[in-house]
Amino acid sequence: MKKLFFFAALVGLLQTVNAQKYITRTGYIRFFSTTSVEDIEAKNYQFTSILDAATGELVFKGLMKSFQFPKALMQEHFNEKYVESDKYPNAEFKGKIKDFKSEILKVGKVVEVMVEGDLTMHGVTKKVSEKGTVELKADGKVVAKSQFKVKPEDYSIKIPSLVRNSIAEVLDIFVDIEYSPLEKK
């Protein structure tokens, strides 16, 4: 028993010693809503995220005000009335890649993974579990992509009845991140 304990602790220690973290400050996240009335699309090019390649842990943080809409008025409504970005400026995700092993990151191989964790938006935190892909590129960067669905209602985002038909109940989210190795200071 003692041997097992010692061995497990050693493995744990080795993992922290080998930690390579990846970071992005220009993460791309797009969301899309389609209804019979109109299609709405918003793009955010300024999400920040860190991926810990030793443990598969993942954190995201982004400013709601950085979502760009095709019309200035849509953007104002989004911030003022729906997500109330003055009260809740950021969207955050804290989670990890399920069953992560550092061997998953192999150069040139696109690996399907399951990401689970807590997504916080508009002051509401929900557990999410979604599919994604990761790929280690030859230049040392990691590309992570995911596509999943989000219900604004789940995050207490209320759409006023006057515009209820212009915004879908379920939105498509597209995540496309290119991580660069985080230089240790």
Partner 1 sequence: MKYFLVFTILFNSFGLIAQEDLMNLLNEETASEEKKKIVYTTATFKSTRIINSHSIENPGKGVMQFIIHHRFGRINSGWREFFGLDNANIRLGFEYGINDWVAVGFGRSRNEKLYDLFAKAKVLRQSTGSLKMPLSLDVVSTVGINTLKAIPGRENEMNLVRRMSFAHQLLIARKFHEYFSLQLMPTWVHRNLVPKRTDENDVFAIGAGTAIKLTRSVRLTGEYHYVLSKETANQFYNPVSIGIDIETGGHVFQLMLTNSIDMVDNLIVPKTAGTWRNGDIHFGFNVNRVFTIVDYQKRQQKKLLKAQQKG
Question: Which chain residues interact with partner 1 by CB under 8 A?
Answer: 1, 4-5, 8, 12, 21, 23, 25-26, 28, 43, 45-46, 48-50, 52, 55, 57-59, 61, 63, 65, 68-73, 75-77, 79-81, 86-87, 92, 94-96, 117, 158, 160, 162-163, 166, 178, 180, 182
Q: What is the four-CA torsion angle of 157, 75, 65, 34, rounded to 10 degrees?
A: 50
Q: Which is nearer to partner 1, 86 or 169 (CB)?
A: 86
Residue type, 103: E
Residue 170's Cβ-side half-sphere holds a number of Cα atoms within 13 Å equal to 3
Q: Which is nearer to partner 1, 71 or 101 (CB)?
A: 71
- Per DSSP bridges, beta strands 171-181 and 21-34 are antiparallel
CA distances from 95 to 8, 51, 116, 121, 156 (A): 23, 10, 5, 15, 21
Q: Which is nearer to partner 1, 92 or 154 (CB)?
A: 92
Q: Which is nearer to partner 1, 149 or 159 (CB)?
A: 159
Question: Contact at 8 Å (CB) between 182 and 23?
Answer: yes
